[in-house]
Amino acid sequence: MNTEIETISTASYLTCSNCGKIYDIQRQQTFAHCCNQPLITHYNNNKFTKVHLKNKPNNLWRYAAMLPVFDNSNIISLEEGFTPMHTLHKIPAKYAINHLYIKDEGGNPTGSFKARGLSVAISKAKELGIEHCIIPTAGNAGGAMSAYCAKAGIKATVVMPKTSAQLIKEEVQLLGGQLIEVNGFIQDCGKRVQQIAAETGAFDMSTMKEPYRLEGKKTLGYEIAEQFNWQLPDVIIYPTGGGTGLIGMWKAFEELQQMQWLTSNKKTRMVIVQTENCNPMIQMIEKGKKDATFQPAYSIANGLVVPTPFAEKSMLRVIAESNGTGIVVSETDIQQSIREMARTEGLLLSPEGAAAFAGFKKLAEKKWIEEQETVCIVNTGSWYKYH
Ligand SMILES: Cc1ncc(COP(=O)(O)O)c(C=O)c1O
Ligand SMILES: [Zn+2]
């Protein structure tokens, strides 16, 4: 059911995430060409209080005041967000941690948290009159974009590695998306997208190369805060590819802090989890490498194979500002973690979510996480999509 969404967007302007140059929010924008970095949306949020959440829909549009869509007739929603926060019972004792939670994004439309970013980005695309969107994707973002484009009446082109799950390819096609398969990884898909966009005028929805998928993803942070009664967890563990979820949650926490919605000044430590087969961010965090590049190999956690993430600097900033860290897990760790969580807690994790769980175990063993701390692991997708 769709509760009435009162349009109170307080979005006011965009800035370059590097130099602060201002960009016009009334116009179609991509990224900050001044510094070749992502754009950040700013809000005039001083009048948005918790009271405004009363009678708001049980989906991410409850935070519409802090989202960029001005006219609610442009909102394309499939009831995304408002996903469960599971309290784990047996696993915490096993790893000597008292309070462990899973934010379970598997129940979103099209089975992953990508629905958040694409609900907002496609709604905004509709508002801006865009008629054709194109996306390079490991899979899930392409499925989500196809669904929202179908509902919006916007043409969708999805460029995906040949090795992505068959089920996701069928999903895209069933939802009316034009599927293009590429021999290679997501960066090869990105190059193909640039060519097609130049030829057809399609709008490029690549991660962080347009500003509004980030705004959708930040609602993950708003929801975590709301579910923890406005007191943030000590640690959030996030399986990272292009980094929108990580950067988005951190943006949410900054906005909530500014609005004085949080009941403590605690800073959550943010953790990037990547796989042995592709870990450009860990190379930067641990080995001080200057640029994010990696010679990748296939991983069952498809979404984490992003060898050259565009938003590397923004991700590093989150890790530095939050006192966070990065950790690598193996394919075996992922498989073993899927089984462990399923048999112990009855929860089926996506391989990416299982990577985050595997990362948690390593950090608990190293005592980087302490016994009394509250930890939230993000399961970004549904196990059922990987077959
Ligand atoms: C299930 C899943 N988890 C995590 C990620 C990584 O997300 P991000 O690119 O926002 O870091 C993806 C991206 O494809 C994904 O599909
Ligand atoms: Zn700039």
Domains located in the chain, CATH noted? 85-109+211-385 (3.40.50.1100)
- pLDDT of 5 above 80: no
Question: Which tens digit of pLDDT belongs to each residue from 124-155?
Answer: 999 999 999 999 999 999 999 999 999 999 99
pLDDT in tens, 357-387: 999 999 999 999 999 999 999 999 999 998 7
In the predicted model, is pLDDT for residue 243 greater than 90?
yes
- Got the DSSP string for 241-271? SS-HHHHHHHHHHHHHHHTT--SS-PPPEEE
Residues 6+ apart with CB under 8 A from 332: none
Number of C-beta neighbours around residue 342 at 10 A: 14
* Ligand with an atom nearest the CA of residue 22: 2
Task: Write down the pLDDT at residue 48.
Answer: 87
Tell me the torsion sign for CA atoms 130, 135, 141, 146: positive
With a 6 Å cutoff on the Cβ, whether 380 touches ligand 1 is yes
pLDDT per residue as tens digits for the range 267-291: 999 999 999 999 999 999 999 988 8
CB-based contact 235:268 (threshold 8 Å): yes
At 96-122, the pLDDT tens digits run 999 999 999 999 999 999 999 999 999
State residue 1's pLDDT score: 46
Q: Which ligand 1 atom sits closest to the C-alpha of 242? A: 9
pLDDT at position 354: 98
Ligand 1: residue whose CA is nearest its atom 6:
241
Mean pLDDT of the chain: 96
Closest atom of ligand 1 to CA, residue 353:
3
59 lines ligand 1 (CB under 6 A): no
